[in-house]
């Protein structure tokens, strides 16, 4: 990655980082790294906070938001909830950590979005929102690919974090 210095590095105890990195499944490490970012973003209430973060932190936090949205309601929900702005930088970051398949998924989502921006961004009633799933069947396959690749991508992000901890936190 470009290795942009972060203006926000939470402090994490070395013992906590090492234990989380060694844990089975690495969910503890994921939570340890992403939670302080969510807390700071919540305090600031402003997504320009992402500009203060390293590329690795931006990838982790952006991916976490994307994951929450897509796992609940697919890419249509992500778009309708206004999180599409998180996607344009994701393909390059995913390529850099060795996830070209997921990078292509995000790139394909962006292509469908750009071609149908007006319909996908307009305010909808609950019924109109539900209808979007029928109108944009191409998102079904993209949602499925995301679900299939998700854990593998999380693992790659965490492997990057383990080899570049200074990009994610100050280890004390």
Task: Give the start-to-end residue ranges of the domains of the chain.
Answer: 11-171
DSSP-assigned letter for residue 30: H
Residues 6+ apart with CB under 8 A from 68: none
Rounded mean pLDDT of 40-46?
A: 93
pTM: 0.93
CATH for the 11-171 domain, from 1.20.1420.60, 2.40.30.10, 1.25.40.390, 3.50.50.60: 1.20.1420.60
Residue 19 has pLDDT above 80, yes or no: yes
pLDDT of residue 2: 54
Residue 72 has pLDDT above 70, yes or no: yes
- Compute the distance between CA of residue 142 and CA of residue 78 in angstroms, rounded to an integer: 13
- Compute the distance between CA of residue 10 and CA of residue 24 in angstroms, rounded to an integer: 23
- Pick left, alpha or beta for residue 10 (phi over 0 → left; psi -120 to 50 → alpha; otherwise beta): beta
Residue 4 has pLDDT above 70, yes or no: no
- Compute the distance between CA of residue 29 and CA of residue 115 in angstroms, rounded to an integer: 38
Sign of the four-CA dihedral 3, 31, 44, 170: negative
pLDDT of residue 3: 56
Our measurement of the distance from residue 106's CA atom to the centroid of its chain's CA atoms, rounded to an integer in Å, reads 11
Listed residue (152, 172, 167) closest to 26, CA to CA = 152
Residue 4 is encoded by which pair of tokens?
């942009």
Listed residue (122, 113, 121, 119) closest to 87, CA to CA = 113
pLDDT of residue 24: 83
Helix (H) / strand (E) element for 170: namely strand 170-171
Residue 121 has pLDDT above 70, yes or no: yes
Q: How many CB atoms lie within 10 A of CB 87?
A: 18
DSSP-assigned letter for residue 49: G
């Amino acid at each position: 990655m470009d290795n942009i210095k972060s203006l926000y590095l939470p402090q994490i105890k070395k013992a906590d980082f090492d234990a989380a990195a060694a844990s089975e499944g690495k969910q503890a490490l994921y939570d340890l790294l992403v939670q302080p970012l969510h807390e700071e973003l919540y305090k600031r209430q402003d997504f320009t906070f992402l500009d203060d973060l390293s590329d690795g932190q931006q990838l982790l936090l952006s991916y976490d938001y994307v994951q929450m949205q897509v796992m609940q309601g697919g890419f249509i929900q992500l778009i309708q909830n206004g999180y599409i702005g998180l996607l344009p930088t994701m393909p390059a970051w995913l390529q850099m950590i060795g996830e070209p398949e997921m990078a292509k998924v995000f790139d394909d989502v962006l292509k469908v979005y750009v071609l149908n921006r007006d319909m996908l961004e307009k305010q909808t009633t609950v019924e109109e929102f539900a209808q979007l799933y029928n109108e944009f069947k191409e998102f079904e396959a993209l949602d499925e690919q995301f679900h299939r690749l998700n854990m593998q991508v999380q693992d790659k992000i965490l492997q990057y974090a383990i080899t570049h901890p200074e990009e994610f936190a100050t280890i004390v």
